[in-house]
Chain A
Amino acid sequence: MTAEKKRSTAIVPIRIPAEAAEPVCDPRLSDVDEWGRSEKTRALARALYEPIYSKWFRVEWEGLEKIPTEGGALLVANHAGAIPSDAPVIMHGIEKELERPVYGLADYFFRTVPVVGTLWARAGGVSARPGNAYRLLKEQQQLALVFPEGTKGPSKSFTDRYQLRRFGRGGFVEIAMRAGVPIIPIAVIGSEEAMPVVLRLPTLAKALGLPYFPITANLLTMGPLGIVMPFPAKFKLRVLDPIYFDVPADQERYSKSRVMEEAEHIRTSIQENVYDMLRDRRSVWFG
């Protein structure tokens, strides 16, 4: 009886909802969009990152005109350095030069880290799920950036530098095919020397639940500052020719052999271009 009374106060008075749909105004206070990204945060991040981009890494691009100014495209690059600087460099560079946002797809591990996960999302990071990539590329025709090596790239030690790891299971090719967008490979050099991994502690990583736990040269030379501070290696990036696939979009499945073949082809061409750029490099610090 008491329960019934208590509930009734919450329910009456009742009015029948109006039939005609008149939209209620949308009282948004912040500019955070459906991906959790905020233009204000991004503007701040851009302002803070600009000196690192142009003064610290002195980034140089080659073939930037190959990135389309409209329509979706999947950017694919090699990934290196304990805390990889290649992701912000590519994202910032394209946004600065082409004035087009780039959505960085990263392992969902990011989302589980307090503060970092939220900042990452506000700055334009999206967790690397096939559904997210499809929505970005096909439905919203955006630029998305992936590193198919995943954590295998940044976690490799300095002795293996510029040796590209396996390109996952080729999922990125399948997504580009399904979304009907080209893949644009990007070869990056400089990222390995910005934060070289001297030693890996897999047991500690496991205990902490991290994908890897590197001891970096930065940490050894700069102390705690080295956790976030990269060395001022010269960054050079080369955009390769876009790869279009002659398969129909929106298929349930794509031939696995074709997918793996394309993925391996992309990996090889990035690897060759990395070697080519290293051949021309006279100095790690001055390019």
Chain B
Amino acid sequence: MARRVLVTGADTFWGGRMIQALEADPSMDVILGMGAKMPSVPFERAEFVRTDQNYSILNRIVKATQVDTILHTFMITNSATVSNRAMHEINVIGTMNLLAAAGAPGSTVRHIVVKSSTLVYGSSASDPSTFHEDTPRSSPARNSVERALIEAEGLVRDFSEDNPSTLVTVLRFANVLGTHLTTPISRNLSRPVCPSIFGFDPMLQFVEQDDVVRALLHVTRGSIPGLYNVAGDGRLPWSEVASICGTRLVPLSPFTPLKIRPLSRLFDLPRELEDLLRYGRGVDTRRLAATGFEYQATSAGAVQSFIKALRLRRSAGNKPGSYTYEHDVEQFFRHSPSVTGAPGGD
């Protein structure tokens, strides 16, 4: 069945990768990317629409393009990148507008896939060692990114109750490591010294960056509704992560979290990471595996894939970004009667 897919955050890492992965699938008839900035990767056949960050015009786009699937990849899971207010706008208001458009009368949307994070479980001493999809948090959210994600997931849950005919999938991804992605964890691990909290060696679970794309594709293609944790098998202590990456741990004082505030600038320690470096987090991934999804990497495999790519970059240097989105050129390739073949050429 031909699908018409809309991808949010087409200008971001995940949106860009998802569009490229969808383009490779011939059953995806129309692919539409939305983003606040110009995309930073070339698209083969996807159309790009530039919008504001919270998608106030989404309603009109959905009506005009008759999309049947929305892939909501634009969720901020790293509080270091944006201000709290911007994060609220993107995660909560953006999701709200998206759901409003999808639930509008006469909407053609049949499936919504939301990329969330295991941050919604939090990280505290009273946590169980493994969170199932239905396990509640054991303590209230203490930082803005967790609050925003919980609120956004709440909106999604309300939507799926109000619109039983629309399939809703929420994927909660563990901390991602991989060949290209930059996160606070990967930045810390790529330095010679890396922070830890003295006396704590938390168990962490990672998911490889390609597995993130594959999981999103898997549920989109299979129209699989539900709430799923996505994380590689196995867990490893932070000290082991550091030694796989060949970085040395610098213990910070465990007693006064405020004292490490000035250091957090030195070390890339957003609030959500401070808790994680104490108590870690583990999730149960059997539910997604039961739908037929197979991982390519374990948690330790994700760490290895990250460090191998980093070693290559250290030796061979960073390849310069060769692509800049040129609106007129892209429009020409897509709509000019003179174009007969695929644009290609990157």
Contact = CB atoms under 8 A, between A and B. Distances in A.
Interface of A: 3-5, 7-14, 16-18, 21-30, 32-36, 108-109, 111-118, 126-127, 129-132, 135
B92 to A, nearest CB: 23
Contacts of A25: 301, 304
A251 B224 CA distance: 27
A111 B210 contact: no
Interface in B231-268: 233-237, 239-240, 243-244, 254
Given A28-B300, A30-B236, A34-B203, A12 B322 contact: yes
Contacts of B337: none
A30 B129 contact: no
B244 A27 contact: yes
A132 B321 contact: no
A131 B297 CA distance: 26
B40 A26 contact: no
A15 to B, nearest CB: 9
B318 interface: yes
Contacts of B213: 17
A25 B240 CA distance: 16
Interface in B20-45: 20-21, 24, 37-38, 40-41
A112 B125 contact: yes
A35 B202 CA distance: 10
Interface of B: 13, 16-17, 20-21, 24, 37-38, 40-41, 125-130, 132, 135, 138, 180-182, 197-201, 203, 208, 210-211, 213-214, 233-237, 239-240, 243-244, 254, 279, 282, 294-298, 300-305, 318-324
Contacts of B295: 21, 23
Contacts, number: 152
A18 B211 CA distance: 10
Given A17-B211, A32-B236, 10 more contacts: A12-B319, A27-B301, A27-B304, A29-B243, A108-B127, A109-B125, A114-B198, A117-B200, A131-B130, A131-B135
Contacts of A28: 234, 236, 240, 300
B24 A16 contact: yes
B41 A14 contact: yes
The 7 nearest A-B residue pairs measured at CB: A114-B199, A8-B321, A131-B128, A24-B301, A17-B210, A21-B294, A8-B40
A127 B127 CA distance: 8
Contact of B296 (A14, A23, A27, A32): A23
B166 to A, nearest CB: 28
Contacts of A135: 128-130
A26 B321 contact: no
A67 B211 CA distance: 43
B301 A10 contact: no
Contacts of A116: 199
A29 B128 contact: no
B130 A14 contact: no
B234 to A, nearest CB: 7
A114 B244 contact: no
Contacts of B181: 10
B13 A10 contact: yes
A118 B129 contact: no
Contact of B130 (A11, A34, A113): A34
6 contacts: A10-B13, A24-B301, A34-B235, A114-B199, A118-B199, A129-B129
Contacts of A13: 319
A24 B304 CA distance: 9
A242 B222 CA distance: 48
Contacts of B214: 17
Contacts of B199: 113-118
Given A9-B318, A129-B126, A131-B135, A34 B234 contact: yes
A109 B279 CA distance: 12
A193 B205 CA distance: 43
Nearest to A113: B199
A37 to B, nearest CB: 10
Contacts of B125: 108-109, 111-112, 117, 127
Nearest to A115: B199
A131 B301 contact: no
Contacts of A22: 296
A178 to B, nearest CB: 14
Q: Which of B138, B237, B302 has the most CB of A within 10 A?
A: B237
A26 B298 contact: yes
Contacts of B40: 4, 7-8, 11-12
Contacts of B236: 28, 30, 32
A25 B305 CA distance: 10
Contacts of A23: 295-298, 301
Nearest to B294: A21
A24 B129 contact: no
Contacts of B243: 29
A129 B21 CA distance: 41
Contacts of B304: 24-25, 27
